[in-house]
Amino acid sequence: MTVTPTEQSRRMSFGRGVMEGLRMAGVQNPGDVMNAAKLARIESGLNSMAKKVLAAVPIQTPWSKEQIVSELRRAGATVDRAVVDGCLITLCERGVVKEPARGTFVRVIARLITQATEEFNEVSINARPAAAALQPQPPAPEREDSLSRLANVAALLRRAADEIDGIALDVEARVQAAGKEGETLRQLKALLTGA
């Protein structure tokens, strides 16, 4: 599963755009925040030991492996240090745990997506312009509404990027499989022509 330099450059620029959009939406550290639905989906796919390790990892303060193991033991779980290491690696790969400094771990915060509501003021066709001017004007849209809409758009872009990456990986796997089949056919042809 190799990625060409051009594709890597495209992915990096897209990722920078999403992260910049999240920062503009008011998210202080976008890498530490994950959509609540995606986080729940990842957590539901974890085995029981990984769920216990995830529950022992704090949300705000980074903890070392030793602190996490002692928290698991305090909770009554009998754990092996190698199993905890494997679980932490898996959790980091899946994006539910971050490693801010080498050997310390912190959970990713679940971000709730707020739905922006838009109100439309309809003016009847028969209304006179003077009457329309006397009607109270709706308040100017608040900045928070704009920020929440921007956050929703950024979340939508992130989901679209995840979907595009999945499709790209599927296409890449198909191309590699077709290349292997083509190689097999060339070898068979060489055997038949050589015989």
**Residue 171 maps to a domain:** yes
**Residue 126 maps to a domain:** no
Number of helices followed by number of strands (H, E) in the chain? 7, 5
Per-residue pLDDT tens for 2-32?
A: 778 877 777 776 666 766 776 677 666 655 5
Q: Give the domain CATH number at 101.
A: 1.10.10.10
**Residue 120 maps to a domain:** no
Domain count, the chain: 2
Domain boundary among 57, 90, 112: 112
Token pair for residue 76?
């009554």
Per-residue pLDDT tens for 47-70?
A: 889 999 999 998 888 999 999 999
CA dihedral 148, 154, 155, 156 (to 10 degrees): 110
pLDDT grade for 144, boundaries at 50, 70 and 90: low
**Residue 168 maps to a domain:** yes
Look up the pTM and report it.
0.44
23 in Cβ contact with 30 (< 8 Å): yes
Rounded average pLDDT over 151-163? 89
**Residue 161 maps to a domain:** yes
Q: Are strands 63-64 and 33-35 parallel, antiparallel or unpaired?
A: unpaired
105 in the same domain as 56: yes
Residue 104 has pLDDT above 90, yes or no: yes
- Domain containing 154: what range? 1-30+144-195
Output the pLDDT for position 119: 44
| Of 97, 78, 77, nearest in space to 87 by CA | 97
Residue 166 has pLDDT above 90, yes or no: no
**Residue 84 maps to a domain:** yes
CA distance 55 to 96: 11
15 in the same domain as 51: no
Residue 162 has pLDDT above 60, yes or no: yes
Residue of higher predicted confidence among 141 and 99: 99
Per-residue pLDDT tens for 120-141?
A: 444 444 445 555 455 555 555 5
Output the pLDDT for position 118: 45
